Structure 1
Amino acid sequence: MKKRSFLLLPLAAALALTGCSGSANETPGSTDAGASQEKAAPETAALSTEQATAIVKKLAGDSADAQIMDGDTIAAALPQAKKLIEQMEISPEKCAEFVSQQAAWDIDGINMAVAVLMDDSTMESTSYSVAGYEDTAKLDQITKQVKNKDLQGCDKIGMTLQGQNAEVGVKILDASSDADLTYATSNTTKLNGTDVPGGGSYQMQGLVGNNAVSVSMTGTDAESEADVLKKLTEELNKAVAEVKATAK
């Protein structure tokens, strides 16, 4: 069975190996397992691409500096990301499939949008993603995997590409939010044995009816885990409120 996850954590390290921007790890439908908490809630219809785009723009504060990506833009970038991962040597060997399936390469039936805010002076970034699942089979698969909360022994993954070595450490965090189902993870990255400055990141995602929302923050090494989780929860709850107000 393929080990697909909810967020794209190891892809951040893959991009670090090639000197690319870390923003690619914000692709929705992509990271590892996380802490979950289920709530009874009324069904919320799947958002359209236009609705998802409007929400991420609002969450980003309608900033002119925000990088906005809709489903078409994301779909166009996935083949390059997939090729990058396929070129990597991954250890432990059992985690190769886990990493290669981190991205949901098939996004048909998923209406999504992503907004990324980058502070060029500190290199800190915050991203928001919203996805409406018209394909309920894909949503069901994600829901089951979120509930499993299992990293399958791949909490530390080594990746080698073009002579560069990266190690990603992933940790499941306790989290709750206004979403029907919530989970959060943190990850750290070492490049050639050295901690990457600002290489730490946190992700929190929630399911809201037929929709998934997530908030990610990178470059948060100077902040405590509790402070970052508080910020993530506040931002995720804003996203949940927007989804519930929009998807009637």
Structure 2
Amino acid sequence: MTKRSLWLLPLAATLILTGCSGSDNADPVTTESSPAPSQKQDQTSGKSLSADQVKDVVTKLVGEDSSAQILDNEVMKPQLENAKTMEGSNGIKPEECAKQQEKYTVTDLTGTVAASATVQGDSTGKVIQIFSITDAQTRKNISEALKLSDIEGCESISVSVSGQEVNTDRQILDLDSTADQALTMATQMKVGADEYLNSVAVQALEGNSFVLVTFSSGTVEAPLLAGEAMKLADQAFAEIKSLQ
């Protein structure tokens, strides 16, 4: 499996892998403990956005990048329906880590209005997903999933991606976010004999808006990816607030 094919994982797989994406260097992550995710006062304020507004936010975030592929809510709907039936622990080993992943993974995001963009660069790929939540239970499920604060014992796992088992090292990163709740996960996937894919996923919730930004690279290390991903997530919330 190539790095480039992993950058373009289908939405359903991306949602399941959100809890395991990125790493901060070319060596396996060996931290003994993980910092807690950013948690602010839980709020439910902020009206939901329309399909056109959500797409506008995604479009502004990618700017003039000609490589961007943007999916609007109409295209996203069937993908979200497919993701709904998938197991959050799909293909994860060992078993105790699969159980943890199942507990802290939300695969049902059908109670949202959504848009996404994939940008494929020469050395870095990024996926931006904006969800405007229309269902109270969906918001509650996301909020609970973002409370994951410790993956001790599950820093190193294997995961099935497109039918292929990939060894993965994970770490929760402690980054400040403007959102009510945020969880940043760094992962390093082995994609060849001596090749690794570094990836960082920022998941953030504020009011009725859920933002997921994933940066992946075979050459750029996680700290740089994490800073750029969080900056883009914060920018997304600023754009959302301007429309509410």
- TM-score category of the 2 structures, normalised to the smaller one: 0.7 to 0.9
User: Structure 1 residues 82 and 183 mapped into 2: Cα distance closer, same or farther (>3 Å)?
Assistant: closer
% of aligned pairs identical? 24
1:59 aligns with 2:61: yes
CA contact (8 A) 1:165 1:191 kept: no
Number of the residue aligned with 2:30: none
Equivalent residue pairs, number: 226
CA contact (8 A) 1:32 1:151 kept: no
Aligned to 1:115, what secondary structure does the other structure show? strand
Whole-Å separation in 2 of the counterparts to 1:71 and 1:102: 25
Aligned to 2:146, what secondary structure does the other structure show? helix
Q: Deviations over 1:59-93 (max 9, x none)?
A: 0004332111234433434677789989x754212
User: Structure 1 residues 60 and 168 mapped into 2: Cα distance closer, same or farther (>3 Å)?
Assistant: same
Q: Deviations over 1:94-134 (max 9, x none)?
A: 33455578874433221111111101x33x11221110111
Whole-Å separation in 2 of the counterparts to 1:162 and 1:237: 31
Unaligned runs of 5+ in 1: 1-15
Unaligned runs of 5+ in 2: 21-35
Number of the residue aligned with 2:186: 186
User: Structure 1 residues 138 and 152 mapped into 2: Cα distance closer, same or farther (>3 Å)?
Assistant: farther
Number of the residue aligned with 2:240: 243
CA contact (8 A) 2:37 2:184 kept: yes
Match of residue 19, structure 2, among 2, 26, 32: 32
Number of the residue aligned with 1:91: 93
CA contact (8 A) 1:57 1:63 kept: no
Number of the residue aligned with 1:49: 51
Whole-Å separation in 2 of the counterparts to 1:48 and 1:111: 7
TM-score of the pair, normalised by structure 2: 0.75
CA contact (8 A) 1:168 1:190 kept: yes
Higher RCO, Cα 8 Å, sep 6+: 2
CA contact (8 A) 1:37 1:176 kept: no
Q: Deviations over 1:151-191 (max 9, x none)?
A: 47433222357984311222100011211212211001124
TM-score of the pair, normalised by structure 1: 0.74
User: Structure 1 residues 20 and 176 mapped into 2: Cα distance closer, same or farther (>3 Å)?
Assistant: same
Q: What is the identity, as a one-letter code, of the residue corresponding to 1:115?
A: A
